[in-house]
Amino acid sequence: MSIDRPTGLSAGFHAHLRHAGVPGLLHAGDQHAPTSWVIRTHTHEAWELYLQLAGPPTQWTVAERTWQVPARGLLAVPPHVPHAMTASSTAPYHFYFAALAPAEIVPPDTLHPIWRQRRPLVITDAGSMITPFELFLREVTTHQPLRTAGLTYTAALLVTEASRLAEGRPPGRHLAMHPAVATAKRLIEDRLAEGVTVDALADAVHLSPAHFAELFRTESGETPGRYRARLRMERARLLLAETDLPITMIAADLGYSSSQHFATAFRRDTRTTPSRYRGAAAGSPSSAG
């Protein structure tokens, strides 16, 4: 397994996974692209999942048809099907991607029919794919015990969540959790950078703001604002430890008004600065390849 850092990107990597010890994995990556970065026509031997996290919608040509992929949208391209961006983006954009063979990753009796039909798929609201992708890319970019098992399980999680979204059904509610709170948590997670107000969350679950706020606190033990703050810090620690993204870019991606605002919040939560945290993490036995 090896990892490249393509020239021309603002930040990011492309990991080659054919020799990672897990059948069905070809490659994966996390890339921050400037407007000049255009993905040219290409094909793969397996399905490619492209999850756009931020930026304006990108235009794609897949199997001679044009598709639009918005932020938090998922494009799934079948094996051997030519695909490309039709034009450059109007602003910088950020995406995760993975090329894999679902039939080699999940048991045959659980394989969703979508992976046998060999038709492109676009899901415009695929925010629930963000966490599975982050777990998978964490296994890709770090050396740790049981790494092969971690790659296997997180790749299966990617395929499973994409299969659920292909059904066209919203994510199910958490067991033993009020459905309004489960829905609100999912909305907060999907819109972590821009944030969602208590009033907007309450409106989404058809409750009064006061009733919703009390229900959320009772069910989860924290306020919606604290829940979002905790998730942002967890993601910040992950990005600092396991990527080379500039701190200013991490701050912007997580919705902080400035790198100074981010540094203040990070120090309050961790008692250290983002740069010192990254330096300490770099001293641990981890590698990009």
Q: Does residue 81 surpass a pLDDT of 50?
A: yes
pLDDT score for 220 = 85
Q: What is the 3-state secondary structure (H, E, C) of the chain?
A: CEEECCCCCCEEEEEECCCCCCCCEEEEEEEEECCCCCCCCECCCCEEEEEEEECCCEEEEECCEEEEECCCEEEEECCCCCEEECCCCCCCEEEEEEEECHHHHCCHHHCCCHHHHCCCEEECCCHHHHHHHHHHHHHHHCCCCCHHHHHHHHHHHHHHHHHHHHCCCCCCCCCCCCHHHHHHHHHHHHCCCCCCCHHHHHHHCCCCHHHHHHHHHHHHCCCHHHHHHHHHHHHHHHHHHHCCCCHHHHHHHCCCCCHHHHHHHHHHHHCCCHHHHHHHHHCCCCCCC
Q: Over 60: is that where the pLDDT of 287 sits?
A: no
Q: What average pLDDT score do residues 193-207 get?
A: 91
Mean pLDDT to the nearest integer, 152-165:
94
Does residue 241 carry a pLDDT above 90? no
- Mean pLDDT of all residues in the chain? 88
User: 242 or 212: whose pLDDT is higher?
Assistant: 212
Q: Which pLDDT score is estimated for 79? A: 96
Residue 128: pLDDT band with limits 50, 70, 90: confident
Tokens in use for 216? Answer: 């959320």
pLDDT given for residue 170 in this prediction:
54
Domain architecture of the chain: domains with CATH: 2-166 (2.60.120.10), 179-221 (1.10.10), 226-282 (1.10.10.60)
Is the whole-model pTM more than 0.85? no
Q: What is the structure's pLDDT at 138?
A: 87
**Cα radius of gyration (the chain):** 19
